[in-house]
Amino acid sequence: MKAKFISITLLSAGIALAALNAEARTLIQNKGSDTLVNVAQAWAEQYREINPEVAVAVSGGGSGTGIAAMINGTVDIANSSRKMKKRELALARKRGRDPVEHVVGYDALAIYLHPNNPAKSLTIAQIADIYGRKSKIKKWTDLGLEVPGCKEQQIILVSRQNNSGTYAYFKKAVLGKKGKYRMGTLDMHGSKDVVELVEKTPCAIGYSGLAYATDHVKLACIAKDAESACVVPSVAAAGDGSYPIARPLYMYTNGEPKGEIKSYMDWIYGEQGQCIIVKKGYAPISDVSCK
Amino acid sequence: MFAATELNRKNQRTEKLVRILFVLMAGLLILPVLIILTTLVYKGGGILSIDFLFTHPTNGMTEGGILPALLGTIWLVVVALLISVPLGIAAAIYLSEYAPDNWGTRLINLAIINLAGVPSIVHALFGLGAFVIFFEFGTSILAASLTLAIMTLPVVIVATRESLQAVPHAFREACWNMGATRWQTIRRVVLPNAISGILTGVILEVSRSAGETAPIMFTGAVFFSPFLPQGVMDQTMAMSLHLFVVSTQVPNVPEDLPYGVALVLIGMVLIMNSVSIAFRMHLRGKKKW
């Protein structure tokens, strides 16, 4: 009986081992931003066809996760939707790491609304008033709007968890350097979660990368201030700087990239890599003509 | 003559009522399982095919199959088993057959009970600190499987110990009286009689390891990897994390994909459980007492 049991164990091990194909390859660890994770995934998927000897393993978790992993030395490339802070850079250097910043694309931070929401445009100041600690706007009626299906017109604020790069960027760009989020926001653990919640909640407003837009949600047209015309978030508007809340997306390597990591980064910067980022709904760093 | 009094009748009525209530409650238990399974089959059954099981995900993980995740889970579970089964069985044999009843043994028992109560996220962070960073295994199948092994060790130990203790003491005494040593007795008499219970523990471990997400997320599983794992130092995709990823992280996933992944995961566990139950019944039938 025992022999039978052992043979079963060996058999399943055998099945797993049988799937091995003896390719020699280099492993590149890539971790971080949820905003970038799907682009990173698409790059890794495509790069397999370019260079089958390099395997790029991608994980998400948020910009903070990626940066922490860079500091701990457990990744080769950290993805981040915000710049590394001075404190983080110092900590990394103390641990013998030398993070080098690469901007790989731009992301329009879209303000998501339920399709029922009649809002035509929002100014940055209005959004700050909605999300800020000292917020004056707590109800849609305060903006002169009436949202069908929203009981009591109370605004439901959808936000992100605090190690998210999107969270940090929104805070800095919209609420200002010393701004604080209002208490009682719903902090979601992923870019997609924000959009999904807003889709289902007439009272809600949320922020997330443009790449996560779906057909069931409305994108607010954003004006820099009351005098300027509003701009609908789009890949083009993020790239040419006309959209007021667009941000660079970063990849950090430990030291200047070398060897296979350099080839990978070069490919990302090349036409193919940049076309993938466009296809995923982000703006490229250079003009590329993609099919 | 006995005639039912009002009190008797009242008691009988209550008895009936209580019985019906309990049957209903027990029946209710089946309901969630049924609902989960029917929903999964209804919504995810359509996507299942040989191709789904044996191809790589494509087009930003919105199309294609789940091969790397499926194989990754098998890797993680098998490596975890190879670590925890010998360790767990050896520990259980010591505790059941050799250990004297003193404070040392009680301390070990206490540790096992506490280990079983540690939440999986704590195991995950322990695995990250110990295996990934301190022992420098990096995020790898080895680190993830070690974490899973530690997490499931109490299950193996407790199941093994219970089944060893279920073997009547008279069996051992008879053996010792024939001049056999402790080890000879354990090997020839106790273990063969306890194997069905031990298997239960092992299978429980398999089911739990296959479904856990938190412990592997930090220690060895990745969002996406274009290659199949080739050794214990590789990272891998895994079914449980893949389910999390396609249902919450990737935009524009067709609705049946997450259900399909869940169905395969639950199917894997159910098949393994049924095989073990059948095997146990087979072994049980051979028992001589």
CA distance B95 to chain A (A): 21
Q: Are the beta carbons of B223 and A2 separated by less than 8 Å?
A: no
Alpha-carbon distance of A246 to A234, in angstroms, equals: 10
pLDDT digits (tens, 9 = 90+) for A179-211: 889 888 899 988 888 999 999 999 999 999 888
Q: Within a 13 Å sphere around the CA of B103, how many CA atoms are in the beta-carbon half?
A: 0
Please indicate, yes or no, if residue A286 is contained in any of the structural domains.
no
Q: Please indicate, yes or no, whether residues A240 and A254 belong to a single structural domain of this protein.
A: no
B39 touches chain A (CB under 8 A): no
Q: Please indicate, yes or no, whether residues A128 and A236 belong to a single structural domain of this protein.
A: yes
Please indicate, yes or no, if residue A290 is contained in any of the structural domains.
no
Q: Please indicate, yes or no, whether residues A172 and A241 belong to a single structural domain of this protein.
A: yes
Percentage of residues in chain B with pLDDT exceeding 90?
Answer: 43
Q: Nearest-CA residue of chain B relative to A212?
A: B251
Q: Are the beta carbons of B74 and A12 separated by less than 8 Å?
A: yes
Alpha-carbon distance of B217 to B138, in angstroms, equals: 13
Q: Please indicate, yes or no, whether residues A11 and A49 belong to a single structural domain of this protein.
A: yes
Alpha-carbon distance of A111 to A184, in angstroms, equals: 18
Listed range (A36-45, A224-233, A278-287, B72-81) with the worst mean pLDDT: A278-287
Tokens of B6: 């009002």
Please indicate, yes or no, if residue A270 is contained in any of the structural domains.
yes
Please indicate, yes or no, if residue A284 is contained in any of the structural domains.
no
Domain range for A269 is 2-105+250-279
Q: Please indicate, yes or no, whether residues A139 and A25 belong to a single structural domain of this protein.
A: no
pLDDT of res. A13: 54
Please indicate, yes or no, if residue A237 is contained in any of the structural domains.
yes
Query: Mutating which of A26, A27, A34, A264 best tests the B interface, going by the most B Cβ atoms within 10 A?
Result: A27
A45 touches chain B (CB under 8 A): yes
Q: Please indicate, yes or no, whether residues A149 and A265 belong to a single structural domain of this protein.
A: no
Please report residues of B whose CB lies closer than 8 A to that of A60.
223, 245, 249
pLDDT at A19 over 50: no
Q: Please indicate, yes or no, whether residues A113 and A239 belong to a single structural domain of this protein.
A: yes
Q: Please indicate, yes or no, whether residues A33 and A143 belong to a single structural domain of this protein.
A: no
For A:9-28, CB contacts with B below 8 A are 9, 12-13, 15-16, 19-23, 25, 27
Nearest Cα neighbor of B145 from B27, B19, B40, B229 is B229
Q: Please indicate, yes or no, whether residues A123 and A235 belong to a single structural domain of this protein.
A: yes
Q: Nearest-CA residue of chain B relative to A190?
A: B249
ipTM exceeding the 0.85 mark = no
Size of interface A-B (CB pairs under 8 A): 101
pLDDT digits (tens, 9 = 90+) for B7-18: 888 999 999 999
DSSP string, A107-175: EEEEEEE-TT----EEEHHHHHHHHBTT-S--BGGGGT---TT-GGGBPEEEEE-TT-HHHHHHIIIII
Please report residues of A whose CB lies closer than 8 A to that of B192.
1-2
B213 touches chain A (CB under 8 A): no
Q: Nearest-CA residue of chain A relative to B228?
A: A20
pLDDT of res. A20: 47
H or E, element range at B31: helix B6-44
Please report residues of A whose CB lies closer than 8 A to that of B85.
9
Which structural domains are found in chain B, ordered by start? 58-285 (1.10.3720.10)
pLDDT at A24 over 70: no
Q: How confident is the model at residue A74 (pLDDT cuts 50, 70, 90)?
A: confident
3-state secondary structure of B40: helix
Which residue's entry shows tokens 């919450």? B248
Would you say the pTM of this structure is higher than 0.80?
A: no
Q: Please indicate, yes or no, whether residues A59 and A31 belong to a single structural domain of this protein.
A: yes
Q: What is the CATH number of the domain that holds A231?
A: 3.40.190.10
What HEC string does B197-264 produce?
A: HHHHHHHHHHHHHHHCCHHHHCCCECCECCCCCCCCCCCECCHHHHHHHHHHCCCCCCCHHHHHHHHH
pLDDT at A244 over 80: yes
Average pLDDT over residues A219-234: 88
Please indicate, yes or no, if residue A39 is contained in any of the structural domains.
yes
Q: Please indicate, yes or no, whether residues A228 and A125 belong to a single structural domain of this protein.
A: yes
Q: Which of A235-249, B121-135, B241-255 has the highest mean pLDDT?
A: B121-135
Please indicate, yes or no, if residue A272 is contained in any of the structural domains.
yes
Domain count, chain A: 2
Over its C-alpha atoms, chain B yields an Rg (Å, rounded) of: 24
Average pLDDT over residues A43-51: 90
Region for B56 from its dihedrals, namely left if φ exceeds 0, alpha if ψ lies in -120 to 50, beta otherwise: beta
Q: Please indicate, yes or no, whether residues A27 and A53 belong to a single structural domain of this protein.
A: yes
The mean predicted confidence, pLDDT, of chain A is 86
